[in-house]
Amino acid sequence: MKLVIEENERKMSESAMYILLGAMMQDKRVNISLTSGRSPRTMYELMVPLVKDQEKFKDIQYYLFDDNPFVGEPHGGNWKEMHELFFDPANIPDDRIHIPSLENWKDFDEEIRQAGGIDVMVIGLGWDGHFCGNCPRCTPLDSYTYCLEFKEKQAVNPTYPDRPTQPYSITMGPKSLMRVKHLVMIVNGKEKAEILKKFIEEPVSNEIPSTVLKLHPNFTVICDKDAASLLNDSYDRL
């Protein structure tokens, strides 16, 4: 694992963006996996004018790694949020966007493998140590993409809100992420300082599912100084 501590959120976002753009410049189909949420917002703001309507990026395919579909609809909030954050502003057509669903989740990993694998995936670190849809005490650490009824997650995560209109959680599992060629985690803000410290210092466990990602052979964690405020100075050189 490589840890990069940047001065602020913008510098963190720039570093992650450069990794993405570097991969996207390859003269072949490139498969990129992106995250929604608060942490990548600045990165997307920086990327949109560089990617929008650019012929050199026409072979880029985009993958979303989780979703909670609404009842009676094919997709959930992740699909909608990613369109608002990046896909719509960057004019990315839907036929270049792939997401696990109730119809395809069993075949999702094989589809990615047949397409050449994920070249770069950017993820965040959840406040409780979750990553993608892999939550504490209910993540099968030996799983590829899987689907859970939300009531199953609720039983082991009682603080999670009810989602009666989104009864299923579909996510790429730990084994799916181990196949990614370059895994990048971005973490920013003082509110993430405690969980980042636990993630780095504690052993692999289902209590903090993200700890399993430290086993990935090409894993980069990029954070700002606020998120790194509880780490020892020695981590600057990891």
User: Which residues are known catalytic residues?
Assistant: 66, 128, 130
CB within 8 Å of 142: residues ≥ 6 apart: 174, 175
Q: Which residues pair with 103 in a beta bridge?
A: none
Structure tokens at 206: 């289902």
Helices (H), the chain: 9-24, 41-51, 77-82, 108-114, 150-156, 174-178, 193-201
* CA-wise closest residue to 29 among 98, 88, 77, 83: 98
Full DSSP string of 128-172:
TS-BTTB-TT---TT-SSEEEEHHHHHHH-TTSPP-TT--EEEE-
Count CA within 13 A, CB hemisphere, residue 91. Answer: 9
Distance CA 69, CA 235 (A): 39
Helix intervals (H) in 75-115: 77-82, 108-114
Using DSSP, how many helices (H) and how many strands (E) does the chain show? 7, 10
